[in-house]
Structure 1
Amino acid sequence: MQQSEVVLHLGKLMLAAGAGSYRVKSAMARAASAVGIDRHQATVTMTELVTSSYEGERFRTEAAEVRRVGVNVDRLEALRRIVHDLRAHERVEILEAKLTEVESMRGLYGPITNALASGVACAGFCFLNKGGWAECLAVLVAAALGQAVRRAMLVRHMQHFYAWLVSGVIASTLYMAVIAGLSTAGLISPGHQGGIISAILFLIPGFPMVTAMLDLFRQDFSSAVSRMSYVIMVMMAAGVAVWTVTSIADWDVTGTAAPTPEGPLLYGLRLLCSFVAAYGFAVLFNARARACLISAIIGAVANTGRLVLIDVHHVPWQMAVGLAAVVIGLLAQAFVSRASLSRVALSVPAVVIMIPGVPFYRAISALNDHTVDTRVAVGQAAASIAEVLFVITAIGVGLALARIMTDRNWRHDMPTSGMIELPEPEGD
């Protein structure tokens, strides 16, 4: 009984920290072998675990629900190290003590640092989306305060749809207020409405989106469908928020592109903004400074290369994103053995900056158009959503190809549960 409980405890902690189904299953199977369970099977969704532990002719089936899900890279790293160091004949009491210690870990960053990371990351996004200084400033303020509200709501265990909706409304309203203040002061001219979309990009559920795609390519459909359903739910909540605010204020979310430099200076600034955006999202994922730095470097190099392919070589957006995702996956693998970090800690913050949140939210906000019942308006929204789906698929395909090229367990269709042989403890 204690053996199966400690294995289930491990699975619950990994699921709550944002691990994908493959990682949860393989970690539990390794822990089960370490504590003397003959065979272990598991079914994993985003919020539920059903496990069966076998010992001879006896078996025990348990189910657990994990309601407080999120993203905590630091906790995932600690759990990964525990699983990696497991040896045969591991004592249940020692493993449980390690898991309890991980469960008591506090976040690395306080509310102010967390909020500023959101604001800076979204401001970098805004420049990449052709925003000017006014848009970037307004986005920094709006996204920082919006993230502060979301974090406060999640700490109080508010329902995720509600938290995304409220923080989306607040961020959108704050963006409009800052732009209105700058316009009233005579610092800017009209035409800065489009940046409002960048102000809510901190609400993109990048981590579950990526893990859902990877679970899908692993043919773990129960987990993939539940995670993607969650992604759609919270993105629609944010979309409804910005739609409501822009509808009341009668704002045009398309806006106009601000003047930007050209040539090497432009790509230098894009490199810097990509680095800042990836670093900020890594902080939001509660990654340590070393992981933030490496993932930001990877993201900056890959995203700038993607933009060069699109602008200079006229490569289709989807293909450029897929190639960049492959590069991110390979670079993450290259740093894994050197930095003792997991792939997910390095690849997800780097790839999140390529998720096309702006076209998606603009498609939702197109419903604000008074001609929504015309074929033109519906066609524009449908085209934007189709473009988003193709790009997200390209990201998943790119990361999956990188894993297939570097991981034998991904090249072969092998079960993630079952019997795993572990090395004996040192000295035996």
Structure 2
Amino acid sequence: MSTTEPTPHVHLSANHHMAIPWHSFVRDENRPVTKASLTERATIVGRVGIIMLSCGTGAWRVREAMNTIARALRLTCAADVGLITIEYTCFDNGRHYSQALSLPTSGVNTDKLTDMERFVNQFSATCLLLTPKEVHDRLDQIQKKPGNFSAATAGLASALACAAFTFLLGGGPIEMVCAFVGAGAGNYSRRLMGARRITVTASTAVSVAISCLAYLLLFKVLELTLGISQAHEAGYIGAMLFVIPGFPFITSGLDMAKLDMRSGLERGTFAIMVITVATITGWLVALLVHFEPQNFIPLNLSFGVQLGLRLLASFCGVYGFSIMFNSPRKLAAFAGLLGAVANTLRLTLVDFAMPAAAAAFLGALVAGLLASAVNRDTGFPRISLTVPAIVIMVPGLYMYRAMFNLGGNHFDVGAAWLVKALLIVVALPLGLAAARILTDSAWRHVD
């Protein structure tokens, strides 16, 4: 007796996270999606969710998008969302269909997130007469949409953001120029590694090392040619701040505020991992080249000049981070304006002796309230506006100083910096959560 293997219908993926052949679920190309089988409809719900998750948004927004599609297709959906995974079940008249989906890595793409939110919001009006194949074709267009910016442009964006970040930390022109070069080189290399699918720990460590060494090289050139002071080496911390995982940090807090504990804890763990790898790498490079995290040389600016420069630097920093997140220039500009107002308010409150964590809470609250207003007028996702606007408030300097002192066995000093950083990190998502509670009736309720 002989046996024969069944002929495969689709090409099997060679990836470790095997790519799903979504079109293979289509059974009848002439039937509208509302008349399709449970499997075909449930698959569309899951695909919408996993694309939303790949854009970096939090569990509540992913589930809300899946629910919107499910209701339009006359399904009930229950989903459990993590950092890179979704397990969900769709129910229809006593029958059910379940899937487990996963991503190879976590990323951020605010442009694709905007397209997906628009697709979800318009689904009932534009897609119910389409066939499942046509719906998947539209999702193909969004999923395969190329990035808006090249690696070189992303490098320039990070250079602008980190130079502005350095000024806001207290650095002057020399520190800003060196941070500009260091961050540009670091993020450019990270983008190249990302295109080659290098794992996040390796790409983070290598890109931070490159940024610190580029800062060192330019600093030594300026020291030999212009005789600049050793005190200007303090700005090297600003050169590595492009790796701050703003989206996981903020969405972690928002998810936990909505009791999406799995997603919140996974996102928080991912953010801590990236920060730990970055700070350890920066610390090791500093040990090798004998850099220390000194205080910046005071700039002695008047209140009016300082206020104006803070507004400008905050706008440039947030604009640069938005471009790094693949935001269209218009969205990046709106985020920059929000960040200029919110971050300048935060820094001014600190100048008037308000505790840094309280000032961070109020800055994030203002950013969230302004983002809600912009969202109503433009349709840009709130998260795409608020995260770039407040990522510049994340205390990367405090985190690095904590690691530097803990690594040098100065536990009392290191612990003090670590506690200061933790208070601010907790305050930022709480401020955004408060803004969402005040402005979003759907988000403030549990049902």
TM range (shorter): over 0.9
| Equivalent in 43, 62, 81 of residue 80 of structure 2 | 43
Report the counterpart of residue 411 of structure 2 in structure 1. Answer: 378
Which residues in structure 2 correspond to 1:124-139 (within 5 Å)?
Answer: 124-139=164-179
Report the counterpart of residue 302 of structure 1 in structure 2. Answer: 342
How far is 1:367 from its partner?
Answer: 3.9
Report the counterpart of residue 70 of structure 1 in structure 2. Answer: 107
Amino acid at match of 1:103: Q
Tell whether the 8 Å contact from 2:283 to 2:404 is kept in structure 1 after alignment: yes
Which residues in structure 2 correspond to 1:4-403 (within 5 Å)?
Answer: 4-37=42-75, 39-87=76-124, 89=128, 91=130, 92-311=132-351, 313-369=352-408, 372=409, 377-403=410-436
Secondary structure (helix, strand or coil) at the match of 1:350 reads helix
- Paired with 1:368 and 1:174, the residues of 2 have a C-alpha distance of 23
- Paired with 1:230 and 1:353, the residues of 2 have a C-alpha distance of 19
Amino acid at match of 2:437: I
How far is 1:255 from its partner?
Answer: 4.2
Report Cα offsets for 1:310-343 as digits up to 9, x if no partner.
11x3211111110111110000001111112111
Percent identity between the two aligned chains = 34
Report Cα offsets for 1:115-174 as digits up to 9, x if no partner.
000001000000011111111000000000100111111111111011101111111111
Amino acid at match of 1:344: I
- Paired with 1:153 and 1:165, the residues of 2 have a C-alpha distance of 11
RMSD of aligned Cα (Å):
1.2
Bigger relative contact order (CA 8 A; separation at least 6): 1
Amino acid at match of 1:359: Y
- Paired with 2:151 and 2:319, the residues of 1 have a C-alpha distance of 17
- Paired with 2:289 and 2:295, the residues of 1 have a C-alpha distance of 14
- Paired with 2:415 and 2:104, the residues of 1 have a C-alpha distance of 33
Select the structure of larger CA radius of gyration: 2
Deviation above 2 Å: which 4+ runs of structure 1?
A: 88-95, 254-260
Tell whether the 8 Å contact from 2:406 to 2:415 is kept in structure 1 after alignment: no
Q: Which ranges of structure 2 fall in alignment gaps of 5 or more residues?
A: 1-38
How far is 1:256 from its partner?
Answer: 3.4
How far is 1:196 from its partner?
Answer: 1.1
- Paired with 2:195 and 2:72, the residues of 1 have a C-alpha distance of 34
Amino acid at match of 2:384: A
Report the counterpart of residue 419 of structure 1 in structure 2. Answer: none
Secondary structure (helix, strand or coil) at the match of 2:230 reads coil
- Paired with 1:349 and 1:12, the residues of 2 have a C-alpha distance of 23
Tell whether the 8 Å contact from 1:34 to 1:90 is kept in structure 2 after alignment: no
How far is 1:259 from its partner?
Answer: 2.5
Tell whether the 8 Å contact from 1:404 to 1:410 is kept in structure 2 after alignment: yes
Q: Which ranges of structure 1 fall in alignment gaps of 5 or more residues?
A: 415-428
Secondary structure (helix, strand or coil) at the match of 1:192 reads helix
Tell whether the 8 Å contact from 2:235 to 2:296 is kept in structure 1 after alignment: no
Tell whether the 8 Å contact from 2:399 to 2:421 is kept in structure 1 after alignment: yes
Amino acid at match of 2:60: Y
- Paired with 1:45 and 1:229, the residues of 2 have a C-alpha distance of 12
How far is 1:90 from its partner?
Answer: 5.5
Tell whether the 8 Å contact from 1:243 to 1:367 is kept in structure 2 after alignment: no
- Paired with 2:214 and 2:68, the residues of 1 have a C-alpha distance of 48
- Paired with 1:290 and 1:167, the residues of 2 have a C-alpha distance of 28
Report Cα offsets for 1:87-108 as digits up to 9, x if no partner.
1845433322221110111111
